[in-house]
Amino acid sequence: IDLRKEMIEVNCIDRLGKMTKVRCSESDTIGDLKELVADQVGTSAERIILKKWYTVFKDHICLRDYEITHLFEIEIYYK
């Protein structure tokens, strides 16, 4: 078993055009990604909604399952 995690970089962009680059693993969940984004943006993870077009990403699903790969762009919305 290969225990190394393949690190990817995900670009998260809010409505004002501010880009946040987050390094994570494809095996992380959307909830994990929200926590990483929240640390950089300075808000709580519960207020963050991650979307791509009309797809709202669910917290318990892995990035790999959504086919989120290196340099993927996700939109950030706030509650």
**Taking the model in full, what pTM does it have?**
0.86
Residue with tokens 């190394």: 4
19 token code pair: 């880009």
Say if residue 43's pLDDT is above 50.
Answer: yes
Q: Report yes or no: 48 and 38 within 8 Å, Cβ to Cβ.
A: yes
- Under CATH, what is the fold of the domain 7-78? Ubiquitin-like (UB roll) (3.10.20)
Q: Where are the domains of the chain?
A: 7-78
For residues 18-24, average pLDDT: 92
Is 5's pLDDT higher than 50?
yes
**Where are the extended beta strands (E) located within the chain?**
7-14, 19-25, 48-52, 55-56, 73-78
9, 20 Cβ separation under 8 angstroms: no
Q: What is the pLDDT of residue 17?
A: 87
